[in-house]
Amino acid sequence: MKKLLYLLSTNNITYSIVLLPESVLGYFHNDSDGSFILINQSIENNIPLHRCVLAEEIGHYFTTVGINEPLNSILYASNLSILKQEEKAIKWATDFLINTDSLLKYISSNIQCSFNDLIDFFNVTDIFMKEKLKFMSLEHLYWHITDSHYLCLANLPNIFITSRF
């Protein structure tokens, strides 16, 4: 959480925990008055979820240009554009909270680790970890972790460690 709070501070992003509609976990807004992130108070004590939502909202600060609409437009093109911006923010967030090198290093030191071990180690939600692995699978299906082991992402959401093939 410290690194996220540091980013908020160094980028002058106002951050508040407030009562939001149940379906809205977080919201980012940027205008001439500044940048603002609101987090739903209902997730304040769920540390993994709070971290993931906050990181994704900070991701909007670094990746979004000029789109501040909620996803409720009737126009398909508008919704598609918003979804693309969401994808960019989530990718930024997963890369920030789950550095690929750190993930591979953890797995190389814990060859028998489970998906839940990864979630616990990185203190994120299962959906967030799945997103990280999905983004990694788009780059490579096999990731080198030791001289004789590879992380296989060819059958997500299942992951497995394989010997050199």
Please, which pLDDT band fits residue 162 given cuts at 50, 70 and 90?
Answer: confident
Q: How many Å apart are CA 10 and CA 2, to the nearest integer? A: 12
Domain boundary among 95, 117, 138: 95
Residues 6+ apart with CB under 8 A from 94: 55, 128, 131, 132, 135
Please, which pLDDT band fits residue 151 given cuts at 50, 70 and 90?
Answer: very high
Residues 87 and 104 in one domain: no
Residues 138 and 88 in one domain: no
DSSP 3-state assignment of 15? strand
Q: What is the mean pLDDT of the chain?
A: 88
Between residues 150 and 71, the one the model is more confident about: 150
Looking up residue 12, the CATH number of its domain turns out to be 1.10.10
pLDDT digits (tens, 9 = 90+) for 94-121: 999 999 999 999 999 998 888 999 999 9
Query: Other CB atoms closer than 10 Å to residue 143's CB: what's the count?
Result: 19
Residues 61 and 105 in one domain: no
pLDDT digits (tens, 9 = 90+) for 47-65: 999 999 999 999 999 997 5
What are the start-end ranges of the E strands in 25-90? 26-31, 34-40
Domain boundary among 80, 95, 110: 95
What confidence score (pLDDT) does residue 74 get?
A: 59
Residues 73 and 133 in one domain: no
Residues 18 and 49 in one domain: yes
The candidate with the shortest Cα–Cα distance to 21, out of 92, 88, 81, 70, is 70
Residues 80 and 125 in one domain: no
Residues 57 and 72 in one domain: yes
Q: Please give the residue range of the domain that contains residue 116.
A: 100-163
Residues 111 and 53 in one domain: no
